[in-house]
Amino acid sequence: MQVRQVEARIGAVIISVLSVLALAAPLLAPHPPNEQLDPAAGRLRPPGTSVWAIELNNQWRIADRVERRADGLAFERLGRWDLAAFDQVHNLTPAGLVDRRTYWLGTDRFGRDLLSRLLYGARVSLAVAFFAVLLSMTLGIGIGALAATSPRWLDGLLMRGVDGLMAFPSLFLLLTLAVLLRPSSLVLVLLLGFTGWMGISRLVRAEILSLKEREFALAARASGLSPLRVLFHHLLPNALGPALALAPLAIGGVILTEAALSFLGLGIRPPQASWGNIISEGREFILSAWWISTLPGLAIALAVIGFNLLGDSLRDALDPRL
């Protein structure tokens, strides 16, 4: 039991930290996530790179070194030195330049700050997973409860429909719909939510069918309560435990599915950042610029581990046999 408590706390800490980082992305991101000051000079910068940003007549230049000379500002860009007159530099001060930028996690092939894109990508990936699971839980619980309390013919009809949907490969269905719809964040939530509720509905139906024969349910019906009142006040609250325990595990699975779709170019569309499409953008440079794909991959792994730890602990806590 102590091990499960430790795992639950670790999972809760991981999820809390990722959620705070995602919610506070506009405050924590050092630069706009899609900012491309000087793609040629700023691309594929390794983590910890510090450069100068020079504004020249409404154009930005990234420089590794700058020197203030008598005839202007000299700066090293792409391995060679250039000279700009003082009146051409709009962010020049008597002491030097205003803008010095540090890319703590490096940059991608367009010169965009990877830390900023990871933070904004967390907002998208976690939000898509959360709302997709919320939709699938709502559908699964509602259809499962309806099937368990309906006449036998309607119960059989609903469950045969669920069996048919579960027999169809969900990933193939998602890929087909993604190709046809070219999903946005909202469409992706709907796709993942409408294809992930079947297992929850079967679980809720089985729990309610078992609870209907318990003494407290028989007593509630014998006291004259309506079927809806028995369902909402007695059966459903007791059947929600196993379903709710599945929610964190389902969120981890949806994060992986969204990342896979975005990696294939069928999920969140660039330039909007998500962990999956950041990995996809860095696959060409996996050896020369490892940080582009590795860091969002680590973020996905950390999020899935956190949700799985919390889900396992929640399942044990809500299982009366344990």
282 vs 4, residue with greater confidence = 282
- pLDDT tens figures, 180-236: 777 788 888 988 998 889 989 998 998 888 888 787 777 877 777 777 787 777 788
Tokens of 102: 């540090």
Task: Give the sheet arrangement for strand 49-56, strand by strand.
Answer: 59-63, 49-56, 100-103
Under 8 Å between Cβ of 127 and 190: no
How do the domains of the chain map onto residue ranges? 49-103, 114-318
Which CATH superfamily includes the segment(s) 114-318?
Answer: MetI-like (1.10.3720.10)
Residue 136 has pLDDT above 70, yes or no: yes
59 Cβ contact partners less than 8 Å away, ≥ 6 residues apart: none
CB atoms within 10 A of CB 26: 12
Q: Residue 167: its pLDDT value, please?
A: 82
pTM beyond cutoff 0.85? yes
The better pLDDT of the pair 249, 168 is held by: 249
* 267 alpha carbon, distance to own chain's centre: 12
Output DSSP code: residue 283. G
Mean pLDDT, all residues of the chain: 87
Q: What angle do CA 309, 313, 316 make, to 5 degrees?
A: 145
DSSP 8-state code for residue 37:
S
The Cα 276–Cα 267 span in angstroms is: 8
Across 19-33, 207-221, 294-308, least confident range: 207-221
State the DSSP code for 285. G
pLDDT of res. 320: 54
Band (1; pLDDT cuts 50, 70, 90): low
